[in-house]
Structure 1
Amino acid sequence: MFEALDETKPLSVRYLVLELENGEFVHLVGYDKDSAALTGLDAFKAFSADHAERRSGALARSAAKIVGNYRMLDNASEAMPA
Structure 2
Amino acid sequence: MNDSKLNDSKLNDFDLIDFQRKARNTTCPQKLFALWDQVCTLYERGQISAYEWNEMKDLLKPSISKASLVRIMVDDSFERKTA
For the criterion TM > 0.5, the same-fold answer is no
Which structure's residues are more often helix, by fraction?
Answer: 2
Larger radius of gyration: 2
**Higher relative contact order structure (alpha carbons within 8 Å, sequence separation ≥ 6):** 2
**TM-score (normalizing by structure 1):** 0.28
* More strand, by proportion: 1
**TM-score in terms of structure 2 length:** 0.28
